Amino acid sequence: MRQLNDLERHAGLAGSTGPVGSAGVPSRLAAVGAVVLAAVFALAVQVPAQAQAPLRVAPESRQQVTLSFAPVAAKTSPAVVNVFALKSAPRGSGHPFFEDPFFRRFFGDRGFGVPRERVQRSLGSGVIVDPRGLVVTNHHVVEGADEVKVVLADKRELAAEIVLRDPRTDLAVLRVNEGAPFQAIDLADSDALQVGDLVLAIGNPFGVGQTVTQGIVSALARSQVGISDFQSFIQTDAAINPGNSGGALVDMSGRLVGINTAIFTRSGGSHGIGFAIPSNMVRVVVESAKSGGKQVKRPWLGARLQTVTADIAESLGLPRPAGALVADVPNGTPAAKAGLKRGDVVVAIDGQMVDDPDGLGFRLATRPVGGRAVLTVRRGANEVPLPIGLEAPPEGSSRDAVAIRSRSPFAGATVAALDAALADELHLPFGGEGVVVVVKVEPGSPADNLGFQPGDAVLQVNGRDIRSPQELERIFRAGARLWRLVVQREGRAIQMVLPG
């Protein structure tokens, strides 16, 4: 099976064991089919019949011999830092008495000399993007951290605070409060990148210290990677390894074109396929942090989209299988206000081509709320421009989430009522009110151990239809000897019976 691993999950958290697939914890609710990835490489070379051999001459000066990326590395390396995140985690004693408050009162939190907590350490990289001390890194590097430190290129170690988390892009912004001003790096326009451009990856692989590797841009707008909600990654063959997460991908002008975030690997090491978050998405997150926001507000479309396959393209008369097919347009959404209709195919936004729904989502996410954009829509045999207002998702019932704490299969899960905005966020169909979905699962919780994941819809519990998060909480609080559940995932209803 093709495996894409988050970098820090190989060598980041203490106690981690082996590669972890980027698509998340494997589902225990349904069987997962194995996918075999075969790579075939072909090289065709055509040589003109009368081609002459290249002229070979000896170099006449040191300048003709020396070819180096040292000037670019010297310019950018001081802006790349190492990030260390520390998190306290409970350590079980192995005996149920130690979990009893009565025994803990007399023996203390350490039991019979057994420590109650252990410290997990996560290692990554970061990039200084503002002289006043703003640092961008990956969200998974600092997720759940109680303490974060950064080590500068000159070996200074400084405390940092997390000022903004954005799990949907796997980005986080830190602030270092001492030592300013810092040497920062400028952000490039990642849309100007071309396949074949030279790039440098700078980070702290395996914790050995700051390292610079060189490669090219192998591909652009990579989607279907499965490591964030907005997928339009830069692919590079510059060597990226565990510890590089959050580090810089820079161009030959010394500007930041991306934040290194993941690798495609079977062994945990670099196989020459790395992925970086484009700088245009990084810019949106950084600007939100500079403005004092605690979360990033992005425009939403409100339409349900699907990929244009070859069969769909042929049936619609499209020249190629590209674009985002509109499957549904709920009333009151920006898509509906713009006049988007079911069966339309969005092929571009503001003149920039989109290959699939992920590409359209990425383009929308890099635009400011409150502005306007123009969608180019293929409708029948015609291309129609549709101006659309860039609105933030409404704060509706989906924000009134309920965390399930009662003893039940869903303990540790947070659920919410599905509305159009939440459906857009979770990539779910929206057909009206009365659907309760999982929006978050705490790692290591009963819900996590059973394989529940964000996007699962809870349809029934013990024969009762679930219409609200509060109703689900009341049922679980009442308790039962057995739980008969009906859960929907990816349009398929799954029934299960679990002990109470």
170 is in an annotated binding site: yes
- How many CB atoms lie under 10 A from the CB of residue 177? 11
Among the listed residues 74, 80, 13, the one whose alpha carbon sits nearest the alpha carbon of residue 246: 80
Which run of H or E residues covers position 139?
A: helix 139-142
Contact 302, 424 (CB under 8 A): yes
Is 245 among the residues known to form the active site?
A: yes
DSSP-based helix, strand, coil % in the chain, nearest 5: 20, 35, 50
Who's near 122: CB < 8 A, 6+ residues apart? 8, 12, 13, 84, 85, 86, 87, 141, 142, 143, 145
Please pick, among 10, 139, 140, 237, the residue that the annotation labels catalytic.
Answer: 140
**Cis geometry, peptide bond prior to residue 409 (ω within 30 degrees of 0):** no
> CA Rg, the chain, in Å?
25
What values do phi and psi take at 288, rounded to 5? Answer: -65, -40
Please pick, among 245, 279, 288, 468, the residue that the annotation labels catalytic.
Answer: 245
Is 77 among the residues known to form the active site?
A: no
Please pick, among 170, 344, 358, 424, the residue that the annotation labels catalytic.
Answer: 170
What values do phi and psi take at 356, rounded to 5? Answer: -160, 175
207 is in an annotated binding site: no
Q: Which residues of 24-63 are buried (b: 16+ CB within 10 A; e: fewer)?
A: eeebeeeeeeeeeeeeeeeeeeeeeeeeeeeeeeeeeeee
10 is in an annotated binding site: no
Q: Which two tokens stand for residue 11?
A: 């060598």
243 is in an annotated binding site: yes
245 is in an annotated binding site: yes
CA-CA distances (angstroms) from residue 320 to 145, 293, 316, 323, 378? 46, 41, 10, 9, 12
Residues belonging to the binding site for substrate are: 140, 170, 243-245
Residue positions forming the annotated binding site: 140, 170, 243-245
**Residue positions annotated with a catalytic role:** 140, 170, 245
